[in-house]
Structure 1
Amino acid sequence: MPVLLYLLAAAVFAQGTSEFVLAGLLPAIAADLDVSLGQAGLLTSAFALGMAVGAPAMAAAGRGLSPRWTLTGFLTLFIVAHVVGALTDSFGVLFAARIVAALANAGFLAVALSAVTRVVPAERRARALSVILGGTTLALIAGVPAGAFVGSALGWRATLWAIAVVSLPALIAVLAATPTRPETGGRSGTAATLRRELATLRRRPVQLNLVLAILVNAATFCTFTYLAAIATGPAGLAEPAVPVLLGVFGVGAFLGVSAAGRFGDQHWQRLIALTGPLLALGWVVLALAAASPAALWLLALSQGALSFALGSTLIARIMATAHHAPTMSGSFATVALNVGAIVGPVAGGIAIEATGVRGPLVVSAALVLAAVFLGRIVPASRRLAETSTHR
């Protein structure tokens, strides 16, 4: 794999840490800035919403520029937003800084994913994408726990400073190693227009993969968001064990992304067919056995692996089926990831209020089952229609 992919993964690691770590710092932020915990919680929602909206907007805005300058610009903006957030005493300024950081993160990830299509051949793209997405899983394993430790020891502002500092080497590396030629050949180039690229969204395979990725990612974050409540509730784990449990889930996620990278190019159909039903079954089993600490520890690892193996494979399929949108396909994948990250916690919150802490597990199972059903029935219906037409 080209060294550039690992440099991009390092930046995605810092950005993934920023996206997830704030949830553990909300009580300290609320107390320091004199706002309610619910108001502080808007910071996480704002980031996810900024990612979902920002991905296509930022990718479209930078499509006529070279990857070097778009990636460098987005990463610089991301760093500046964290510096501003670390310095401010105003919740409004911090809220705005989080939105700016999310927009920069979205733009960076969208361009980075699209850059994969330029630096590796088609038969190795799933593996290349797994390297970049591995940055997110490493953020879950190491970045988030480290950020939470820094925040508890030195304050939440120190965590934002740390994220900015960690991003600096990635910024220098991206500036030095990223290709300079614009993806489209310039704003007046002869490549596909933005309208033509967006028309790719009307293709059925692209639409199906987007929906499947949203459902699977929503299922993942539906339970992951409330895993601490499940662990300290039915399973009866002590609070100090929760970060370790989240780390176990992150290890599983890393293994899943690695598996998707290894098998996702040649055997993506088998990978989806295998991991989908197993993932749904795992959520059902965990809902039934949530009171068992042993089951929780084991399934945290397996569900993390299955969730990210399936999710990463679907992201690769979005990129593959949207190959006619070379500058925008990465933004399509980024939107799918973050719409799922918005929908999942909301659905889980509704379920936990209505049925208790097992509710998110049931919702996760239902979301994956819906994805399995759509993944089977839609292609089958299409083949049947094509057969009828040929007759």
Structure 2
Amino acid sequence: MLTIGMFTLGFDAYIIAGLIPGISATYQKNASQVGQAVSVFTLFYAVSAPLFASLLAGRQTKKILLSSMFIFGLANVLSALAPSFSIFLLSRAIAGMGAGLFSPLAVASSTTFVPIEKKGRALSFTIGGMSMGTVLGVPIGLYLANMFEWQLTMWFVVIFSFTATLCMFKFLPDIPVTPPPAIKERLSMFTDKRVTITVLITFCASIASLGLYTYLSSLIPDLTSDKDLTIYLWAWGLGGLLGSLSIGYFIDYFKKPKVLMVIILMTLTVSIICIPILINLSILKYLPFFIWGAMGWASQAPQQHILLSYQPQQGSAAVALNSSINYLGSAVGATLGGIVIYSGMGTIALIYFAILFMGFSLCLQFYSMKKFNKSPKQKSRAT
């Protein structure tokens, strides 16, 4: 049931990138301006996730999940009916708040239904709901937008939102309520250097990956004569589905999420580098998008697994923080991408900026492994 809700969020969060041309035509705005609709959604997601994790700690989890998904559905009704671009931006802000409340709580709750040795798979399956929303929802949404109007796609999201709400109401069991931690304990999470470095890795990778994804509708026509954006989104989404659903098994089997993160970040960087190199080489042109999607989606579960190991008593807050930082990175990436396009630097510059931020994330990951993976014996020697 939680995965169905995440499916709906994934559908809505990633469809806007494909709808930018239609929304631009409706409200007479350029691509960089419409791209800020993604920034607004992700910014409010980023702010609401940790805020609600604190304010609603100790409340009945099922009611919060139901309320947040219902609010998310109403926000998308407003998106479909928005008479002006300002109202459309407001609706995206409200949708972001609903998503920010639902997503981290759903991910954290998923681990309460399974034994400890299966937590990695529970995390990857729940997060995989978002990638399934991307794989199945985005191409369908683009097809509907091309055949009719982009607003019909938003109504599609509304139907899924209310269906998810009804399914959770009927079938989702009550979730054990975790007593809220003391203020001192909660603040200690934000002053934990291990947590800070971990979420900074998420932040930089998100700026690169999700920021670049936002402007695919502008990037693809500039790199190739192929105008069919849908196939590239299919490749990205299918990769995301594979990455998000399989990474949990690797986490549970190898039990070394930091090593997995190094592999993921390096592969993601190489895939972005290969986009302009392979974009005109027949079937190979879709390969970088597939790998990019797989690695981008696979990166979330190891990071959340690491944070849960650092802060086992504050699982929902730790997951909310990482989820928040992920979407904050997306907001920053979309904003920077809009500036790049508006300044006339060319869409190829988006790839260069993405590679730069992936380099930052890799440096931080190596620093984290060197700094925080020392054995007690090594630490005593260093002291």
Q: 1:289 to 1:86 in 2, by over 3 A?
A: closer
Q: 1:177 to 1:138 in 2, by over 3 A?
A: same
Match of 2:365 among 367, 375, 378: 375
Asked if the contact 1:117/1:326 (under 8 Å) is kept, the reply is no
Alignment of 1:43-62 (within 5 A): 43-62=37-56
Shift of 1:169: 2.4
Q: 1:103 to 1:332 in 2, by over 3 A?
A: same
Partner of 1:107: 101
Q: What is the CA–CA distance in structure 2 between the aligned matches of 1:36 and 1:218, rounded to whole Å?
A: 21
TM-score, length-scaled by structure 2:
0.88
1:327 aligns with 2:320: no
Shift of 1:30: 4.7
Q: What is the CA–CA distance in structure 1 between the aligned matches of 2:264 and 2:25, rounded to whole Å?
A: 43
1:366 aligns with 2:356: yes
Deviation readout 1:245-271 (Å, 9 max, x if unpaired): 111111111111122111123422442
Which is further off, 106-115 or 288-297?
288-297
User: Gaps (5+ residues) in structure 2?
Assistant: none
Partner of 2:240: 253
Alignment of 1:68-147 (within 5 A): 68-147=62-141
User: Gaps (5+ residues) in structure 1?
Assistant: 1-6, 186-190
Asked if the contact 2:11/2:137 (under 8 Å) is kept, the reply is yes
1:192 aligns with 2:186: no
Partner of 1:265: 252
Asked if the contact 2:202/2:303 (under 8 Å) is kept, the reply is yes
RMSD: 2.7
Amino acid at match of 1:365: I
Quick one: percent identity of the two aligned structures?
22
Amino acid at match of 1:261: G
TM-score, length-scaled by structure 1:
0.86
Amino acid at match of 2:165: L
Q: What is the CA–CA distance in structure 2 between the aligned matches of 1:31 and 1:341, rounded to whole Å?
A: 24
Deviation readout 1:326-380 (Å, 9 max, x if unpaired): 3312311211220221222334445565753332222222222222222122332
Deviation readout 1:158-213 (Å, 9 max, x if unpaired): 2222211112221122123444366234xxxxx52245224212222222221111
Partner of 1:188: none
1:167 aligns with 2:167: no
- Aligned length in residues: 377
Asked if the contact 1:315/1:333 (under 8 Å) is kept, the reply is yes
Amino acid at match of 1:263: F
Q: What is the CA–CA distance in structure 2 between the aligned matches of 1:128 and 1:265, rounded to whole Å?
A: 10
Partner of 1:3: none
Q: 1:87 to 1:221 in 2, by over 3 A?
A: closer
Partner of 1:299: 288
Which is further off, 222-231 or 349-358?
349-358
Which is further off, 303-312 or 35-44?
35-44
Shift of 1:143: 0.7
Q: What is the CA–CA distance in structure 2 between the aligned matches of 1:46 and 1:235, rounded to whole Å?
A: 30
Asked if the contact 2:207/2:332 (under 8 Å) is kept, the reply is yes
Q: What is the CA–CA distance in structure 2 between the aligned matches of 1:48 and 1:37, rounded to whole Å?
A: 17
Shift of 1:228: 3.7
Q: 1:387 to 1:69 in 2, by over 3 A?
A: same
Amino acid at match of 1:380: K
